[in-house]
């Protein structure tokens, strides 16, 4: 089976990092002792916050480190006034959207271009909905693979600033760029933007660590939520990661990942150009995802298509859950959107999988 649904790092990457994690945890416990086995460090292990403060050039007191990116995003959503409106990209990380709705917030989706956000649509939504927050994934976006241009990213932040909307960038794929270039980091001032990061895809999902960089005035409300609900995060993990960063091993491992994932990304781009050039596919430069549109698969053909693809050895599902409700209406008649997750697959599987989607689309549509 070629499974395009597995949003996980490749097994090879886990095998590579396994001895480093084993050694790292042991050293962290021996080095920090009861400090990482006891309650404490409620905003995250202090040395890790300091290392992150250096990376983002901010005061470590503005950083909260937690058990994964999703946890800190969740704590942040909990700290917002109930029933806030949040603008998200038209297609986004579905769990973030579910979580926001669960805390009683409203979601509206903003249109995207290959450069990032459609700025006039964002301005229109800000004027009509008075949102509290904009949440975006500017690097190798989940699920479209889009990386915002620097100009677009700045323009979004400016527009948010002008209308007093908090701008939050989920940068968890920033360092996962495989085309030999580096993404320009987001600069942070006292008032923002908010940054949300994660080591899940860059170290391992099991070690589960993420962080948020907050504007000064938001540290208080988020800290209150932490004190009431989470207390301390997993401290041995954070101790291991802070030493891993400080020793330069994290950067070396990122280079290993870039080399590992590049041929997979190249295979995906080749296959998309070969079989889906008519849908003008996004050129993938990193991350984990691409979104393919099967323009001929209308709603009535969807189930038949997904089953036929499965019978041909490829697992996919409709990406409907990643779209905001206002966008789902607009997408009607545009065909089936499918999210392709590539890092855990081999280049040959990726090419064969994409080719299968095209073949089955043609056979289902006669």
Ligand X SMILES: Cc1ncc(COP(=O)(O)O)c(C=O)c1O
CA 33 to chain centre: 33
CA 294 to chain centre: 23
Q: Check binding of 172 to ligand X (CB under 6 A).
A: yes
Q: Check binding of 287 to ligand X (CB under 6 A).
A: no
Among 9, 43, 60, 69, binds ligand X (CB under 6 A): 69
Among 89, 90, 99, 170, binds ligand X (CB under 6 A): 170
- Closer by beta carbon to ligand X, 9 or else 131: 9
Q: Of 189-208, which residues contact ligand X (CB under 6 A)?
A: 198, 200, 205
Sign of CA dihedral 173, 45, 206, 39: negative
Backbone angles phi, psi at 277, to 5 degrees: -60, -25
- Closer by beta carbon to ligand X, 93 or else 244: 93
Asked whether 267 and 348 are in contact (CB, 8 A), the reply is yes
How far separated are the first and last CA of the chain, in Å rounded?
Answer: 25
- Closer by beta carbon to ligand X, 170 or else 243: 170
Q: Cα(17)–Cα(11) distance, rounded to whole angstroms?
A: 10
Q: Check binding of 93 to ligand X (CB under 6 A).
A: yes
Structure tokens at 305: 């298509």
Stretch that binds ligand X, among 62-70, 115-123, 245-253, 327-335 (CB under 6 A): 62-70
- Closer by beta carbon to ligand X, 99 or else 361: 99
Q: Cα(198)–Cα(202) distance, rounded to whole angstroms?
A: 8
Structure tokens at 226: 């932490």
Among 58, 63, 70, 257, binds ligand X (CB under 6 A): 70
235 burial (CB, 10 Å; 0-12 / 13-18 / 19+) is buried
Look-up: residue for tokens 């886990």? 14
Q: x/- site string to ligand X, residues 8 to 37, per CB under 6 A?
A: ------------------------------
Structure tokens at 298: 């209308």
Among 100, 137, 146, 168, binds ligand X (CB under 6 A): 137
- Closer by beta carbon to ligand X, 137 or else 350: 137
Q: Spell out the alpha helix ranges (H) of 227-323.
A: 235-246, 249-276, 302-311
Asked whether 340 and 4 are in contact (CB, 8 A), the reply is yes
Task: Count residues near ligand X (CB under 6 A).
Answer: 13
* Shortest CB 203 distance to ligand X, Å: 10
Among 13, 85, 142, 207, binds ligand X (CB under 6 A): 142
Q: What DSSP designation does 299 have?
A: G
Sign of CA dihedral 308, 309, 310, 316: negative
Q: Check binding of 4 to ligand X (CB under 6 A).
A: no
* Shortest CB 198 distance to ligand X, Å: 3
Stretch that binds ligand X, among 67-75, 119-127, 249-257, 260-268 (CB under 6 A): 67-75
Binding site for ligand X (CB under 6 A): 7, 68-70, 93, 137, 142, 170, 172, 198, 200, 205, 210
């Amino acid at each position: 089976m070629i499974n395009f649904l597995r949003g996980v790092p490749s097994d090879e990457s886990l095998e590579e990092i396994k001895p480093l994690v084993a050694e790292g945890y042991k050293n962290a416990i021996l080095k920090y002792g009861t400090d990482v086995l006891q309650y404490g460090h409620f905003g995250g292990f202090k040395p890790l916050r300091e290392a992150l403060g250096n990376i983002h050039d901010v005061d470590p007191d503005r950083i909260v480190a937690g058990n994964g990116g999703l946890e800190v995003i969740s704590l942040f959503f909990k700290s917002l006034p109930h029933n806030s409106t949040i603008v998200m990209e038209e297609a986004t990380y579905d769990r973030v959207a579910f979580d926001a709705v669960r805390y009683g917030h409203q979601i509206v989706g903003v249109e995207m271009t290959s450069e990032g956000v459609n700025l006039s649509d964002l301005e229109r939504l800000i004027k009509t909905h008075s949102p509290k927050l904009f949440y975006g994934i500017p690097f190798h976006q989940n699920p479209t693979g889009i990386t915002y241009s620097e100009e677009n990213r700045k323009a979004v932040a400016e527009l948010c600033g002008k209308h007093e909307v908090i701008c939050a960038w989920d940068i968890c794929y920033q360092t996962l760029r495989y085309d030999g270039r580096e993404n320009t980091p987001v600069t942070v001032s006292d008032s923002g933007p908010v940054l949300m990061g994660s080591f899940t895809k860059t170290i391992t999902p099991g070690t589960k660590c993420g962080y948020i960089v907050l504007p000064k005035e938001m540290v208080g409300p988020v800290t209150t939520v932490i004190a009431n609900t989470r207390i301390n995060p997993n401290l041995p993990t954070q101790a291991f990661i802070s030493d891993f960063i400080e020793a330069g091993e994290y950067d070396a491992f990122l280079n290993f990942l870039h080399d590992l994932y590049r041929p997979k990304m190249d295979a995906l781009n080749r296959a998309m150009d070969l079989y889906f050039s008519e849908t003008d596919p996004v050129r993938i430069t990193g991350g984990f995802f691409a979104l393919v549109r099967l323009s001929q698969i209308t709603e009535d053909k969807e189930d038949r298509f997904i089953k036929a693809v499965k019978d041909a050895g490829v697992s996919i599902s409709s990406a409907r859950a990643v779209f905001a409700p206002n966008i789902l209406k607009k997408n009607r008649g545009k065909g089936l959107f499918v999210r392709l997750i590539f890092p855990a697959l081999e280049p040959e599987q990726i090419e064969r999988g994409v080719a299968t989607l095209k073949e089955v689309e043609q056979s289902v549509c006669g």
